[in-house]
Structure 1
Amino acid sequence: MSFGKEANLTLSDGRAIDYLDAGDPSGRPIFFQPGSPNTRIMGKLWHPAALVAGVRLISVSRPGYGGSTAIRHQPMLSTVGRDLAELATLLGLDEYAVIGSSGGGPYAVAAAAIDSLRVRAVGVVAGTGPWRELADPSSEPEERAVLALLDRGDLAGARAGMRHLVENVWQADLRRLDGEARLNAWLGDDPLAADEAYRAIMADALSAIVEGTEGVIFDGLAHGAGWDIDLQAVHAPVLLWYGGADESCPVTYGRWYAEQITRANLVVFSEEDHLAVGDSHRPEVLAAVLEAWQ
Structure 2
Amino acid sequence: MVMSSGDDASLTLPDGRIVEIFDGGDPSGPPIIHQPGTPNTRIMGRLWHPAAVAAGVRLISVNRPGYGGSTPVVGRPSLSAAGRDIAALATLLNLEEYAVVGASGGGPFSVATAAVDPQRVRAVGVIAGAGPWRELADPSVEPEERACLARLDDGDLVGARAGMRHLVENVWQAGLRREPDDSARLDAWLGDDPRAGDEAYRALMAEAMRAVLEGTEGAVYDGLAHGGGWDFDLGAVRAPTLLWYGDADEACPVAYGRWYADGIPTAELVIFPGEDHLTIGDTHRSDMLAALVTAWR
Q: What is the CA–CA distance in structure 2 between the aligned matches of 1:197 and 1:290, rounded to whole Å?
A: 28
Pairs aligned (count): 294
Partner residue of 1:59? 61
The residue identity in structure 2 corresponding to 1:168 is N
Q: Does 1:257 align with 2:247?
A: no
Matched residues in 2 for 1:119 and 1:276: separation?
Answer: 27
2:194 match: 191
Q: Which residue of 1 aligns with 2:155?
A: 153
User: Aligned with 1:240: secondary structure?
Assistant: strand
Determine the C-alpha separation between the residues in 1 that align with 2:188 and 2:35. Answer: 24
Alpha-carbon distance between aligned partners in 2 of 1:52 and 1:280, rounded to the nearest angstrom: 14
Q: 2:9 — aligned with what?
A: 7
- Counterpart residue number, 1:36: 38
Identity of aligned residues (%): 70
Superposition pairs of residues 236-251 of structure 1, within 5 angstroms: 236-251=239-254
Cα distance in 1 between the residues matched to 2:203 and 2:23: 19
| Alpha-carbon separation, structure 2, partners of 1:37 and 1:119 | 25
- Quote the Cα distance in structure 1 between the aligned partners of 2:99 and 2:267: 15
| RMSD, aligned CA | 1.0
- Pairing of 1:13-162 with structure 2 (within 5 A): 13-162=15-164
The whole-number CA distance in structure 2 between the counterparts of 1:37 and 1:141 is: 19
Q: How far, CA to CA, are the matches of 1:29 and 1:255 in structure 2?
A: 27
1:278 aligns with 2:293: no
> 1:195 and 1:266 mapped to 2: Cα distance?
32
Alpha-carbon displacement from aligned partner over 1:10-64 (angstroms, at most 9, x marks no partner): 0011100000000011110000000000000001111001111110000000000
Q: Deviations over 1:168-189 (max 9, x none)?
A: 1122211223311111110111
Alpha-carbon distance between aligned partners in 2 of 1:182 and 1:53, rounded to the nearest angstrom: 33
Q: Any idea what the Cα deviations from partners look like across 1:172-217, whole Å, max 9, x if unmatched?
A: 2112233111111101110011111111110111011001110000
CA distance in 1: counterparts of 2:68 and 2:82, whole angstroms: 15
In structure 1, list runs of 5 or more residues that go unmatched. none
- TM-score, normalising length: structure 1: 0.98
Deviates more, 1:174-183 or 1:18-27: 174-183
Give the distance between the partners of 1:117 and 1:235, measured in 2 at CA.
9
**Residue by residue, what CA displacement relative to the aligned partner does 1:135-192 show, whole Å, maximum 9, x if unpaired?**
0011111110110000000000000000011011122211223311111110111001
Question: What amino acid is aligned across from residue 221 of structure 2 in structure 1?
Answer: F
Q: What is aligned with 1:182? A: 185
- SS of equivalent to 2:123: strand
Tell me which amino acid in the other structure corresponds to 1:95: E
Structure 2: 5+ residue runs without aligned partners?
none
